[in-house]
Structure 1
Amino acid sequence: SPQLEGIPRAGIVHRIDKGTTGLLMIAKTLRAHNSLVTQLQEHTVLREYQAIVMGVMTAGGTIDEPIGRHPVERKKQTVIGSGKHAVTHYRVEHRYRAHTHIRCQLETGRTHQIRVHMAHLRYPLLGDPAYGGRLRLPKGASENTQLALQAFKRQALHAGLLGFIHPATEEEVSWRIEMPEDMLNILKVLDRDQKLNT
């Protein structure tokens, strides 16, 4: 729209990775853009993601590890001493036999941050084409379970909650959006697998 022409990056103040679903902030005025960029820089924007990781996590926690460009694979990021400060808080929602449903809160917003941090902890996101590594299947899983997990071809990551101070009213506002069908389906598959094998 013409009113977005004078706004940097057409009003987009942060991004979500290709293959990640969920909420994105877009500013319609320069004033709103500047306010939201400042809030992001001051780490006051609430950004909560839901993810399905491979492996069974024992507890939640905080990852405070710098992230930078991978020295060899230039399209990838990695935990590296020369990288930028990056902090992810995470908590366990549900443990399955070989996977965990978690919620992550971003304190910083580095490229691929949750994906890189979780892979660094050796709990990569299910389906992640860049950082996922080998697919893990629950021991003795049914053919249906195996097929469903093999067919999931994007990182299991969803930006489900976004909160910030409204640039015009200065009130706290937040939005939630339900997990998409493909992730909900995987959770059902994992739940069934767990019930059949306990």
Structure 2
Amino acid sequence: MSSEKRILANFVVPPELSDRRLDQAAAELMPEHSRSRLQSWIKSGALTVNGEVRKPRDKVMLDDRLALDAEPEAQVSWQAEEISLDIVYEDEHLLVINKPAGLVVHPAAGHADGTLVNALLNYAPEVENLPRAGIVHRLDKDTSGIMVVARSLIAHTSLVDQLQTRTMGREYEAVVVGTLTGGATVDAPIGRHPRERKKMAVVASGKPAVTHYRLVERFAAHTHVRCKLESGRTHQIRVHMAHVKHPLVGDPLYGGRLRLPKGTTDELREALSTFNRQALHARQLTLEHPETGEILTWEVPLPEDMVALIEALRKHARELETRDY
């Protein structure tokens, strides 16, 4: 089998993974692969340390070199389904999609079908041979917007590397509760919530997470912001904005109870009370094409529900200004 059709990866053990078990370090460095598959590769010699075959429990040290050279095999057992996709760009290596709110990315308990993966298996059957059906990053079910899917092993390896080295640019738009006076950076580690297992939280033992945000428009009691990620932790923007006391409008996990601003009109009350998802949209994606090296950027507009929410907030702010004069 040619090298282009193999799963190839190389890593140098960083300080934070020194003295960890090989299977644990590999899971941190290659989160797109399952723990059981990584252990299988270690045992078979497909994943080596400094060119040597090791056991999963063996410790790795700083600057050890991990090399993976494995044959692809069917990675998923999910079923293909004919589900329409909003395709922004595609070629033999990449598929860039504008995901609607409400679409689950991966099949899981409670969502065995009707997901993005099921749609991908129908539209691009070749992703069956890639880890997680070619999905290298995901969006929450109720977050809308742009995401990229790998269609080849070359693309999968490249995209994972770009995510890990933070060279893939991702920009989001959000509407948050409260009026911000300026942009800022939230640098706070994120991990599993100590008591509520469905939630993430800022915790000292969490993984490093950095979110930059800047103002787009300020309303009477809300703010439209753009967020840029340096890391990609689960629920990162939702957790970070709630951490600085500006949760996303409509967020069912981190938003708390509905707060209506002073002088709320019936129209605004309706807009806020019926917006039943986090007001978060993946707006822009920038990456290096895995084959050509060209830097590509795609942007998708805000969905109709967020446009309507922002217009209702803007109208309310104008009405308050008129009353004040």
- 3-state SS, counterpart of residue 261 of structure 2: coil
Query: 1:125 aligned to 2:248?
Result: yes
Which position in structure 2 is the counterpart of 1:11? Answer: 134
**Aligned partner of 2:211 among 69, 79, 88:** 88
Residue of structure 2 equivalent to 1:68 = 191
Gap regions ≥5 residues in structure 1: none
1:22 paired with 2:148, answer: no
Alignment match, 1:51: 174
8 Å contact kept, 1:125–1:132: yes
Map of 1:183 onto structure 2 = 306
- How far has the Cα of 1:2 moved from its partner? 3.9
Query: Structure 2 residue aligned with 1:108, among 231, 239, 263?
Result: 231
Deviation readout 1:160-191 (Å, 9 max, x if unpaired): 10000000110000100000000000110011
Mapped to 2, the partners of 1:100 and 1:42 lie a distance apart of 31
Unaligned runs of 5+ in 2: 1-123
2:269 aligned with 1:146: yes
2:289 pairs with one of 140, 157, 166: 166
How many residues in Structure 1 have an aligned counterpart in Structure 2?
A: 198
Tell me how far 1:138 sits from its aligned partner: 1.9
Partner amino acid for 1:155? Q
Paired with 1:74 and 1:134, the residues of 2 have a C-alpha distance of: 20
Match of 2:139, SS state, is: coil
In structure 2, C-alpha distance between the alignment counterparts of 1:83 and 1:124, rounded to whole Å: 20
- Between the aligned residues of both structures, percent identity stands at 56
What is the letter of the counterpart of residue 99 of structure 1?
H
**What CA distance in whole angstroms lies between the structure 2 residues aligned with 1:103 and 1:2?**
35
What TM-score do you get using the length of structure 2 for normalisation? 0.60
Query: Structure 2 counterpart of 1:192, which letter?
Result: K
Whole-angstrom distance in 1 between the partners of 2:269 and 2:181: 23
1:37 is the counterpart of 2:160? yes
Deviations 1:102-146 (A, max 9, x none): 000000000000000000000000000000012222201111111
Task: Please report the RMSD computed on the Cα atoms of aligned residues, expressed in angstroms.
Answer: 0.7
Q: 2:210 and 2:178 mapped to 1: Cα distance?
A: 21
Q: Following superposition, which runs of at least 4 residues in structure 1 exceed 4 angstroms of deviation? A: none
Aligned to 2:220: 97
Secondary structure of 1:24's aligned partner: strand
Larger C-alpha radius of gyration, 1 or 2?
A: 2
Q: Is the CA contact 1:119–1:132 (under 8 Å) kept in the aligned structure 2? A: yes
Deviation string, structure 1 residues 23-76 (Cα, Å, up to 9, x no partner): 111000011000000000000111000000000011101100000000110010
Q: Counterparts of 1:137 and 1:179 in 2: how far apart (Å)?
A: 23
TM-score by length of 1: 0.98
Alignment match, 1:196: 319
The residue identity in structure 1 corresponding to 2:300 is I
Query: Equivalents in 1 of 2:216, 2:137: separation in Å?
Result: 26
